[in-house]
Amino acid sequence: MLDFRQQYKEFLSPNVLETSYVISMDGGGNPIFIDPSGHVFICDHDCGEIKRIADSFELLIEDCFYEW
């Protein structure tokens, strides 16, 4: 987490950095994190673009895992 805060301080606001937490990294090295409201985001480490990928961790799991 400290590495994330240091690396992305130019792209993300101090509030986002201090109140969000990284839950994973995608295959390209982009952090996936959750903000205080529970929304899940991914941050492109090349350009700093942030994209909301789910409204909650639960919805992220439901969208990514299919019944077999």
Angle formed at CA 61 by CA 5 and CA 68, multiple of 5 degrees: 145
Per-residue pLDDT band at 68 (split at 50, 70, 90):
low
Handedness of CA 54, 13, 8, 17 (dihedral sign): negative
Q: Is 12 helix (H, G, I), strand (E, B) or coil?
A: coil
**C-beta of residue 15 within 8 angstroms of C-beta of residue 24:** no
Of 57, 59, 33, 36, the C-alpha closest to 44 is 33
Handedness of CA 50, 27, 67, 58 (dihedral sign): negative
pTM comes to: 0.79
41-64, pLDDT tens digit by residue? 998 888 878 899 999 999 999 888
